[in-house]
A = this chain, B = another copy of it.
Amino acid sequence: MKRRISFQGEPGAFSQVAAYRLAGADCVPIPMQSFEDVFLSVQNGKCQGAAIPIENTLHGSVHENYDLLLKYDLTIRGETLVRIVHNLIAPPGVRFAQIQRVYSHPVALNQCRRFFEENPQIEKTVYYDTAGSVKMVMETPPGNAGAIASAEASRIYGARILKKSIEDDRANYTRFFLLEKPKSRTRTPELQGASRFKTSLVFSTRNMPGALFRSLSAFALRDLNLTKIESRPLRGKPWEYLFYLDFIGHLEETAPRNALGHLAEVADMLRILGCYPVGR
């Protein structure tokens, strides 16, 4: 049976590209309206996995998904880095000079600021999804509207690319996670000789001077390399924070195991979110 992999957005979304990369070309990507729907689809077994964006090199973290990782009991099984290329897309026959309004997701609009500065006659308009904005301008064409989305979205909806790669910064990558239900049989991927692994976790500290420093010492004292740390507000405790942290290492290796034992001593709360091969 082919694996159903849920993602947020319309067909043609960058998350769909990530789903194929993470779960293989023979998986069946299933579009969902919200990130919460995506998590629920795996939790309730309707999908066997999910592809979610977690951070972008320009925009930063997708905080809603960090919060949902804590709310739902899913495991990170893989990561991949997708280069984001934004294109100005319009229905066939619409010329660039006719475009008065461009729809896209706010993140995509923000990543094409220079394009809008150079074309002040074009009004940017927020839409819920990049690929969805292509679908919309194709279905209800006023003849003067365009969308910003992937080449994949243009192809799927039979639109035309008017301008390629209009993003401000080529160093524009999004990191996606593959999420699955935790399995009791094997909670961690096999330790393979050559591969490098990453472990993601979330913890909170007691509200005292030096608490974060003490927590990070668990990793620094063992020469473990942190690749990301992200703080989020702790609900119900104003001005206290949760920390999401990624480090290079496998749960079954000695140093990471000892570091997590050490962190558990100094943290108020600690949860492992997953252990997975370092993505490309």
Contacts and interface: CB of A to CB of B under 8 A. Distances in A.
A209 B238 contact: no
A212 B216 CA distance: 8
Interface in A149-172: 169, 171
Interface in A189-237: 209-210, 212-214, 216-217, 219-220, 223-233, 235-237
B63 A233 contact: no
A96 interface: no
A169 B67 CA distance: 16
Contacts of A58: 233, 235
Number of identical protomers:
2
Contacts of A210: 219-220, 223
A105 to B, nearest CB: 12
Given A209-B223, A239-B227, A56 B233 contact: yes
Interface string A57-73: 11110010000000000
Interface pairs A-B: 4 shortest CB-CB: A213-B220, A210-B220, A57-B238, A209-B225
11 contacts: A60-B231, A171-B235, A171-B238, A209-B224, A209-B225, A209-B226, A212-B216, A213-B216, A213-B220, A228-B241, A229-B229
